[in-house]
Amino acid sequence: MDESTGALAAAIGTRIKQERAALHWTLDRLAEAAGVSRRMLVNVEQGAANPSVGTLLRISDALGLGLPALVEPPTRSAVRVTRAGAGSALWRGEHGGIGILVAGTQPPNVVELWDWTLCAGDIHTSEAHATGTRELLQVRAGTVEMTIDGDLHALGEGDAITFAGDTPHAYRNPGPAEARFVLAVYEPNVGSR
């Protein structure tokens, strides 16, 4: 883990531990509620793991927080500004791509705003999210292939797609040049499951 990834992992681990303690939950109870192993949860709380976005989603949903609240520091203001370059890098591709959570809203109906870069050959596979999750994506540069529940959709610069995020899906850059896209994710009723 590089220094910035390590710092983010430590901050996320601290926040999970604080939220779990506030609920008076044991590690076992949170692990069961989130559908992750106790060992994974211990590693995440200690900042020793770089969990997948899917794992972080399951943990944040179990805590009733939503992913943005898990990675952003708490605030008392109803207005939150994320300065350029200040988002949370939650995914790094094998070929240099990066998925940055730029901003998000609070539960119960969470909206996440992402800035993605896929380098040539990068692929991000996502498990199905919580029931009712919807995603909107617009390609800003390059080409992106979306596989949604087994169906392939090729997108070029300026193209947009809306789909159910509660089915398995993947984002892939099949081209030789970098691909960039913005992604909005809507997850309803966080914390009420």
Which tokens is 21 given? 């303690």
* Straight-line distance from the first to the last Cα atom of the chain, in angstroms, rounded to the nearest whole number: 33
What is the pLDDT of the chain when averaged over all its residues?
90
96-154 residue pLDDT tens = 999 999 999 888 899 999 999 999 999 999 999 999 999 999 999 999 999 999 999 99
Which letter does DSSP use for residue 27 in this model? H
Write out pLDDT tens, residues 149-160: 999 999 999 999
For residue 98, the model assigns a pLDDT of 97
Give the pLDDT of residue 76: 65
The set of residues, in sequence order, having a beta carbon less than 8 Å from that of 175 and lying 6+ positions away, is 120, 142, 143
User: Per-residue pLDDT tens for 8-38?
Assistant: 888 888 888 888 888 899 999 999 999 999 8
Instruction: Give 192's pLDDT tier (boundaries 50, 70, 90).
Output: low
Residue 125: its H or E element? strand 123-126
Q: How far apart are CA 126 and CA 174, in angstroms?
A: 17
State which amino acid sits at residue 152.
L
Q: How far lies 84's CA from each of 58, 79, 81, in Å? A: 28, 16, 10
The pTM assigned to this predicted structure is 0.77
